[in-house]
Structures are given as structure tokens and as C-alpha cells.
Structure 1
Amino acid sequence: MIRLDQEQTIKILNKFLQGTYMGIHAYKRFIEKLQHSSLKDSFISIQKDQKNHATLISERIQHLGGTPVTSEGIIGKIEAGIVNVVENYNSEEEIIKHAIKGENLYGIRMSEDLVRDKLDEESLNLVHRILDKDREHVDYLKSLLHS
């Protein structure tokens, strides 16, 4: 039987996982727009990291006795659709800026708020390792703007 605190942890980790899937799908759209760009491989590499993060979080949820989500959910799909309509970006610079904004706002800040004081130590350490990698992505993307 799953304890109440484990149930809470699973719920929070699944929300975090939905956000990770949003990131994976956002990078899919960036990669499609970068078909003939030297940046394509860098964006594929970042997306690969995010897919690995999704696997790690899914495994943690299963270890806790839960069932991991397999997509960003309905709200995530709606948000992604709205972002695509509202924020039209085509140049490499616009794509990089959009990726930085997504990683910073949705990937890091919202995730930190989501997990703060709500996870067991092992789950929190995993999330922090993932967010540290996301910060590395942001630093790398920023370096592309200044090169």
C-alpha cells in the first residue's frame, strides 16, 4: 500500500514529468525549424538529455509504487498550441531565445516552485540534478547568442 506522503511525491513527480514531456515536444518543434542549421545537432542533444530525464523520473515514480504519466497531458498540449500560435519564431536567434525562455521559466523556475518542500530526499536530489542539467542547457544556449 502506498503511504500518503508517497502518494503526494508521486503526484508531484508526475507533474514534473509532464513538464519534461512539454520540453521534449518543444525541442521537437525547434529541431523541425532548424532542419538546415548547424544548431540542429545541439538541440537534438538537449532533447536527448530531456528524454533521459523523463526516463529517470519515470523509474523513480515506479520505484515509489506509482504509475508515470506518458505525455504532457491535456493542459500541456493546450499551452503548447497557444505558444505556437502566439509566439511565431523562425530565425535561429529567435529559436534560441525561445528555448532559453522555456528552460528558465517552465523548466527551472516552475519546477523549483512545484517541488519545494514537497518531496523526499532521494526524489528531491534527482529533481535537483535534472534542474542543474537544465541550467547547463540555458548557459550553453546563452553562449550561442553571444558567439
Structure 2
Amino acid sequence: MADMHSQPFAAAAGDDLGVRLTLLNAALATEVVSVRRYTRHALSVRGPHHEAVKSAFGQHAREEQDHALRLAERIQQLGGRPDFNIGGLMSSGDTQNEEGRTLVEMLRENLAAERVAIETYRDLIPYFAERDPTTRRLLEELLDEEEAHANALHALLEP
């Protein structure tokens, strides 16, 4: 079997591109799931201060939508096709009625999801560091924004 050094450069670059596109599409799917979750929570929150929390969840949904759009655009710039099929990432809770869930439960669910996104971007950044500095910068920006989301949610959970 031939090693990578015996392959033409284009083939080796194409293999790496495929990996990059797969990783970016996985990040895109995570963002799309986040948009759905925040939107669902914004529409279902009740109780005291529900308008403020609804507004906060709505803002987070819009920011996650922006993340998804930026990732999809980068995938296209790299010659790939954004994959919006999120079937494998959908949880059973994604189709359940939110009625009866407490605000604290929704905040904790969103915070856990933000932490997953943060870890995802932290894992991806070193991979893209030398291979694709433009994508690395995008991922660093998204990481900063996800950390801000997590901090805001954490602050809402504090007594």
C-alpha cells in the first residue's frame, strides 16, 4: 500500500478537505439543534420574569442561527455542501412537549449544551490551526460566543 508521500498533493489535500468538511458539518448540526432547543424554550417558558427569559432564549437562538449560517458559508467556501440533516443528533427531548418543565431545568439543559459546544470548538481549533487558519479564526470566534452564552446562563442559575 502506498503511503501519503507517494500520492499526488491534490489527493492528499482532498483527503484532508473531506475530514475538515465532515468536522464542520458536525459542528453545523450541533448549532442547528441549539437553534431548535432555544426556540422551543423561548416559546414554552412561563412564570415570573418569563418575558425577560423568553427574550434571552430568543436572542441565544438568533446567535446560534448566526453560528450555523457562518459555518454553512465556510463549508461552501471550501467547496462542500452544508448538511442540515440532524437526525442522529436529535434527542428524545427535542420532540417532547416542554409544558411542565421548570425554568431551572431549561437553563441547565441549555448550559450543558453550551458546554458541549465549547468543548467541540476547543477540540477543533488545534486541528484547523495549521491546516486552515481562516476556519480556525471562525472557530475561535464561535468559541468566544459560546463561552459568553455559557457565562450568561450560569449567571441566571446562580441564586
Shift of 1:29: 2.2
1:16-53 Cα distance to aligned partner (Å, 9 max, x none): 11111111111122113215612000000011000001
Shift of 1:124: 1.6
Residue 129 (1) aligns with residue 141 (2): yes
- Alignment partner, residue 76 of structure 1: 89
RMSD of equivalent CA atoms? 2.5
How many residue pairs get matched? 141
Percent of paired sites with the same residue: 21
Task: Tell me which amino acid in the other structure corresponds to 1:101.
Answer: A
Residue 14 (1) aligns with residue 21 (2): no
Task: Tell me which amino acid in the other structure corresponds to 2:138.
Answer: L
User: Which structure has the greater CA radius of gyration?
Assistant: 2
Stretches of 4+ aligned residues off by more than 2 angstroms: 1-4, 82-85, 110-113, 116-119
Residue 118 (1) aligns with residue 127 (2): yes
Q: With structure 2 as the length reference, what TM-score do the two structures score?
A: 0.77
2:58 to 44, 48, 51: 44
Residue 91 (1) aligns with residue 105 (2): no
Tell me if structure 1 keeps the 8 A contact 2:32–2:68.
yes
Q: With structure 1 as the length reference, what TM-score do the two structures score?
A: 0.83
| Structure ranking higher on relative contact order (CA contacts 8 Å, 6+ apart) | 1
Residue 145 (1) aligns with residue 157 (2): yes
Tell me if structure 1 keeps the 8 A contact 2:121–2:140.
no
1:78-97 Cα distance to aligned partner (Å, 9 max, x none): xx215777xx9712122112
- Alignment partner, residue 5 of structure 2: none
1: CA distance, partners of 2:75 / 2:59: 25
Shift of 1:12: 0.9
